Structure 1
Amino acid sequence: MDLSTLLSPDCTRCAVQGASKKKLLETISQLAAPKLSGTTRQDVFESLLNRERLGSTGIGLGIAIPHGRLASATQPVAVLLTTSEPIDFDAIDNQPVDIIFALLVPEDQHDDHLQTLAQVAKRMNEQGCCQAMRKAESDQQLYDIFTGQGGDNGSCSL
Structure 2
Amino acid sequence: MELADILAERAVLCCTGVKTKRQLFEDLAARAAELTGHPAVDILNAITNREELGSTGLGNGIAIPHGKIAGLKGVTALFARLDEPIEFDSVDDQPVDIVVMLLAPTGAGADHLKALSRVARLLRTEAVVDELRRIDDPARLYATLTSPVTTHYAA
Query: Which TM class, normalised by the smaller chain length?
Result: over 0.9
How many residues align? The count is 152
2:36 is equivalent to residue 36 of structure 1: yes
**Contact 2:15–2:81 under 8 Å retained in 1:** yes
**Alignment partner, residue 17 of structure 2:** 17
Query: Structure 1 length as normaliser, TM-score?
Result: 0.91
Residues 140-149 or 68-77, more deviating: 140-149
2:155 is equivalent to residue 157 of structure 1: no
**Alignment partner, residue 57 of structure 2:** 58
Structure 2 unaligned residues grouped into runs of 5+: none
Q: Distance in 2 between matches of 1:104 and 1:124?
A: 18
Amino acid of the structure 2 residue aligned with 1:139: P
- Give CA-to-partner distance per residue, 1:115-142, whole Å, 9 cap, x none: 2101110000000100000000211111
Deviation at 1:5, TM superposition (A): 1.4
- Give CA-to-partner distance per residue, 1:59-82, whole Å, 9 cap, x none: 000000000001121111110001
Query: Map of 1:30-109 to 2, 5 A cutoff?
Result: 30-37=30-37, 39-109=38-108
Percent sequence identity over aligned pairs: 34
**Contact 2:18–2:24 under 8 Å retained in 1:** no
**Alignment partner, residue 3 of structure 2:** 3
Structure 1 unaligned residues grouped into runs of 5+: 150-154
Deviation at 1:143, TM superposition (A): 0.9
Query: Structure 2 length as normaliser, TM-score?
Result: 0.93
Q: Distance in 2 between matches of 1:126 and 1:101?
A: 15
Q: Distance in 2 between matches of 1:16 and 1:107?
A: 32
What is the alpha-carbon root mean square deviation over aligned residues? 1.3
Q: Distance in 2 between matches of 1:157 and 1:16?
A: 27
Give the SS at the match of 1:137. coil
**Contact 1:36–1:75 under 8 Å retained in 2:** no
**Contact 1:16–1:81 under 8 Å retained in 2:** no
**Contact 2:76–2:104 under 8 Å retained in 1:** yes
Q: Distance in 2 between matches of 1:117 and 1:127?
A: 18
Deviation at 1:34, TM superposition (A): 2.3
